[in-house]
């Protein structure tokens, strides 16, 4: 167990273009106790091209209106910031680096990826302290002198 540290929660997400999943992410975040005290980092491909990240608003005529609104609502509910504001696939920002503590993420860069997607790389800064260890005796019963133990036990209870 790490002591005197802020918990770090790291998640990787892929949202395929068809089924909705933002609601499931929202439900999962609700289940994390004291989320506001954690360093949260969610990275992945959300496939939501309808959000203009320079204004945090929906673009005109969005294709994924419901999902995009839910995404913006989830980010507002949990105080998440999107740190990517440049295109990661053609002219769209589809890949996300979301965090509730912007100072814990840095050195984000985009590298040429596979097919049309760029690869995002970043550092996640968390403070770790030494693990608390406990020393204890471990008895090897298979190496015990059972005859002697039995003899001493009989002598002990006969006193």
Domain spanning 8-130: which superfamily?
A: Endonuclease/exonuclease/phosphatase (3.60.10.10)
Which H or E run contains 106?
strand 105-111
Give me the helices (H) in the chain, please: 22-30, 65-78, 146-158
The pLDDT assigned to 62 comes to 75
Phi-psi category of residue 56: left, alpha or beta, with phi > 0 → left and psi -120 to 50 → alpha: left
Query: What's the pTM value of the predicted model, to 2 decimals?
Result: 0.66
Segments of the chain scoring below 70 in pLDDT: 1-5, 17-20, 116-117, 128-131
Place of tokens 């050195």: 107
Percent of the chain with pLDDT over 90: 1
């Amino acid at each position: 167990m790490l002591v005197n540290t802020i918990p770090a929660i790291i998640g990787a997400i892929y949202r395929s273009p068809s089924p909705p999943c933002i609601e499931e992410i929202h439900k999962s975040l609700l289940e994390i106790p004291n989320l506001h005290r954690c360093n949260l980092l969610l990275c992945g491909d959300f496939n939501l091209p309808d959000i203009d990240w320079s204004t945090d608003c929906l673009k005109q005529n969005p294709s994924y209106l419901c999902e995009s609104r839910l995404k913006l609502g989830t980010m507002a509910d949990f105080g998440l910031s999107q740190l990517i504001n440049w295109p990661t696939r053609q002219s769209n920002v589809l890949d996300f680096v979301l965090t509730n503590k912007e100072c814990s993420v840095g050195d984000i860069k985009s590298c040429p990826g596979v097919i049309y997607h760029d690869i995002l790389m970043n550092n996640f800064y968390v403070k770790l302290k030494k693990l608390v260890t406990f020393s204890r005796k471990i008895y090897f019963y298979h190496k015990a002198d059972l005859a002697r133990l039995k003899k001493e036990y009989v002598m002990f209870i006969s006193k």
